[in-house]
Structures are given as structure tokens and as C-alpha cells.
Amino acid sequence: MTLEQIHAAIPHRAPMLLVDEIVEQSEEKIICRKTFHEDEFFVQGHYPDYPLVPGVILCEAAMQTGAILLSQFVGEGSGVPVATRMNNIKFRKMVRPGDTIEMEVTLTERMADAFFMKAKVSCNGKVSVRLDFACTLAPNPAE
């Protein structure tokens, strides 16, 4: 999927767009990738002598991947996906500038405009983060 298609699917933009490419997508599962660089604003002070991608950024990347998956259920302009819950977050492996992560998100349940998902973020074939999360559709403020 091109950057233009990602922009059409979710409202996130640089510097907070945390998806570079969509590798695979079905109705209930999506796999995306993101490569982190030294000049990303969130690694500048985290930590100056040993830069790490913050765990909350890895969770956000997974949730953006989920938002792309949900875009198939959302009519154009009918809502903006927002996180409502994160549970069972487990951090396993550090991610540093230069690393590429792969985010795999599965839709486990849908109740009206509430979507429940599971995510696995991997780096070099090893799990960095696992989490469960939920999103809902908030009214689009541009309307």
C-alpha cells in the first residue's frame, strides 16, 4: 500500500505517522512495517547516550496499524478511530533507531462501533511488545 493509501485510511501524519508500509491485509488481520531513524523526535532525549524507541510509541504504531485495518469498516468521513483501552501490555525487546518493526494486528471482536484487537510487535523476528486494545469511532471534527 502506498503512503497515499495509508493517508486515505487513517488521519495520522508526520511526525506521528508510525506506519511505513502495509505488508499484508485481510478482513480480520493486518501486518505493517515501520523503520525507525535517529532523527525521530521521540528518540532525541530517550536516551541521549543510548537511544531507544519508547514503549508507548511501539503501542501507538500497533494501534495505527489497527486503525488501518478498521478503515475498511468506516465510510469516508464517518469517524476517526480513537483508542479507548489498552490491556495486557508486555514489553519484551528494546527497539533502537535503525531497527524495523513488524506490527501484526488481529480484530478479535466488533460490537457496533467498538473494535477489540490483539497486537504483536516484532523486531528481527523476536517479539518486542504484545498488547490488547480497543478503539471506537469518534465524530470527525472536520465535519
- With a CB cutoff of 8 Å and minimum separation 6, the contacts of 96 are 36, 51, 52, 53
- Tell me the chain's radius of gyration from C-alpha atoms: 15
Query: What pLDDT, in 10s, does the model give residues 4-60?
Result: 889 989 989 999 999 999 999 999 999 999 999 999 999 989 998 999 999 999 999
Backbone conformation region of residue 29, classed left if phi is above 0, alpha if psi is from -120 to 50, else beta: beta
Please give the model's pTM, rounded to 2 decimal places: 0.94
Active site residues: 46
CATH placement of domain 3-138 = 3.10.129.10
Domain ranges of the chain: 3-138
What's the confidence (pLDDT) of residue 81?
Answer: 87
What's the confidence (pLDDT) of residue 77?
Answer: 52
